[in-house]
Structure formats: structure tokens, C-alpha cells
Structure 1
Amino acid sequence: MICHCNVETICKTAKDPSFCSTFLKSRPAGVGRDLVSLAQYSIENVHTNVTNTVDLITKLVAQSRDMNEKSHYGNCLQHFNSIVEYVKEAEGFLKIGDYEDVHMNANFIIINVDDCLFGDSPSDPPFHDTSMLPKYADVVQKIAEIIFIISNLLKQ
């Protein structure tokens, strides 16, 4: 399905419609307005953001002074290494038109970002993170949500 859905249609269900709208409207002129092109643009962008986040976490692990910090960042690194794979898979699935699996991988990205930030279990004590990681992770999660929404529209 190649629809020229407008940005408002895509972003109205996002948790942060303003971010979604700004993100999709900031795409380069060469990026088409159809859903597949917007999904590809979003996947490429999330890939860059995930790479930058992995680089940041790697530095944070190296700089960690106490065990709680080291454990938190080590856990996040595991989750973001998984996210790297989910992004690659989503890209491959998009290329072959398997929108259901693009959708599933976008959901896995969102879940793994949550698990990084808030722990794998509700009983995990919250980690007060004053680094840039929560901001980086938030951007990854918001772009993954855009991929999730677009892939949902594609699979209809």
C-alpha cells in the first residue's frame, strides 16, 4: 500500500505528536512522502541515533565508578546491542515488504529502550541517571514509535 498520508495522520497517535511532526517534516527533499519512504527515512535515522547511543553508553561504562552505575550502563549496553539488531532486521523486512515484522521490530526497540532506562523488571530500583543517556534513549524511542505507527499503517 503506497499512500501519501499526511504527517498529521501519522503523528496523531504518537505519544509526542509535536516531535513526530517535526521529525517527519524535517526529512530531506529527496525523501518521498509515501509510507515506505517515510519508514525508510525513520529507520535510517534511528540507526544513526542508536549508534550514537551505543557510543555514549560504552563511554559511560568505562567511566563508571560504582557498581550500581556500572550495572545500569552494562544492562543498557546489552539492550542497545539488541536494538542494533532489531534496526537491521526492520530495514531488511521493509525492503521485502514484510510490514508485520517491521512493526514487531519497532515494538522490540521501544521495549528495550524502556528496559534500559527503567530496568528489566518493575521491582528493579530506579537508577537516577544524570548523563545524556535518557535524552538519547528518548529520541530513539520516539523515532521507533514513528516506525511502529507507519508500519501499522502499511500492514493494513
Structure 2
Amino acid sequence: MAPSFCVSFFFSLLLAILWICPTYGRLSVKVSENVLKEICSSHEDPPFCLQALKSDPHTPFVDLVGLTNISIHLVDFSANKTLALIRSLIKTADPELKKHLDDCLKMYDATISGTEDAKTALKAHDYETVNVASDSCMTNVETCTDTTTTSAPPLQQENKNMCYLC
């Protein structure tokens, strides 16, 4: 199967932090509606990106680092939700599907661990490590998506959402 590709708002935020704002002083500027739109404009699904970022009531009051923190928490929440779905699907799955779901379980466990690493790295202003966590998240979700493409429709929607979030 060909690997899928997703451009996440998490990755877009990192680009904004690393390239749009070359100095740390610019990072502390509050995020405006225009900045949100600029960040989400490179996303595969800009309305999804805007809705996700605006879903947190703190968004209007944070800077780019704070917005990245919000996105990490969104990824963590969604990964835990998807992990719970995988665990429920494993109980009723045929042996072949169970094998694929076990692989997905490992991928999502790694994603959740990666979000913890990203939280720690963000606090330390280690944006390279945050970027690595984002890349790993996308790879893990894409791997799960590729192994369960037609066999678990509810999981496919969660994988799609996760792909957008990573």
C-alpha cells in the first residue's frame, strides 16, 4: 500500500515558530485571527485546523508557543480516544484484523509517549524535538491507516482526524 501524507496544523505551528518568527521575542506575541488563518492556510483541511485550534478556550490568549502546547494537548486527547477505540475493536476482531489492530495499538502507544516528549521539549524551547515528535506522530498514524485501510471504518475516521492533528 502506498503511504498516505498529511499536513498537520501541529507541523504548521512548528513552521510558524521556526521560520515565520525567527526571534524568540516574536514568539510571545498573542495569536490573532489572522495568524490562525495563516497557520491553517497550509493545512490539508483549513476549516478543520481552525475549528480544532479554536476549540480550546485559551486560544485567544496564547502566543505561538502556547498554541503549540494546545495542539500537543489536542493530539494527546485524540490519541487516547483512538487508543480506546482500538482496544474495543480488538475484542471483536477476526484474527487478521486483530493483528493489524495490535500494530495500531503499538503505534498509538508510541504516539502518546511522543506527546509527553513533545510537552517536555516545548517547555525547554527544544523545537527540534517537538518537530521530531510531530513527525513520529504522523508516521505512526499513517502506519495504522495503511494497515487497516478497509477493515475498520470507525478507526479510519479517527486516523484521519489524528493525521490532521499530528
In the superposition, the TM-score normalised over structure 2's length comes to: 0.76
In the other structure, the counterpart of 1:137 is: 159
Q: Is the 1:14–1:20 contact (alpha carbons within 8 Å) kept by the matching residues of 2?
A: yes
C-alpha contact 1:31 1:38 (8 A) present in aligned 2 = no
Deviation at residue 139 of structure 1 after TM alignment: 1.5
Contact 2:75-2:162 at 8 Å conserved across structures: yes
Per the alignment, residue 128 of structure 2 pairs with: 100
Any idea what SS the aligned residue of 1:132 has?
A: helix
Pairing partner for 1:39 from 41, 57, 68: 68
Deviation at 1:32, TM superposition (A): 2.6
Residue 148 (structure 1) aligns with: none
One-letter code aligned to 1:71: K
1:98-139 deviation digits (Å, cap 9, x = unpaired):
0111011101100110001103xxxxxx64134311111222
> What amino acid does structure 1 have at the position aligned with 2:80?
T
- Runs of 5+ in structure 1 lacking a partner? 120-125, 145-156
Q: Which letter maps to 2:72?
A: I
Query: Any residues of structure 2 matched to 1:75-114 within 5 Å, and which?
Result: 75-114=103-142
In the TM superposition, residue 85 of structure 1 has moved relative to its aligned partner by: 0.9
Distance 1:70 1:4, change over 3 A: same
Give the length in aligned residue pairs: 137
Which is worse superposed, 72-81 or 18-27?
A: 18-27
Distance in structure 1 (CA, Å) of the matches to 2:87 and 2:141? 16
Classify 1:80/1:30 alpha carbon distance in 2 versus 1 (closer, same or farther; 3 Å): closer
Q: Runs of at least 4 residues of structure 1 off by over 3 A? A: none
Q: Of 18, 22, 38, which aligns to 1:9?
A: 38
Partner of 1:49: 78
Report the identity percentage.
Answer: 27
Gaps of 5+ in 2: 1-23
Question: Quick check: 1:72–1:127 contact (8 Å CA) kept in 2?
Answer: no
Q: Distance in 2 between matches of 1:59 and 1:53?
A: 10
Give 1:62's match in structure 2, choosing from 71, 87, 91: 91
RMSD: 1.7
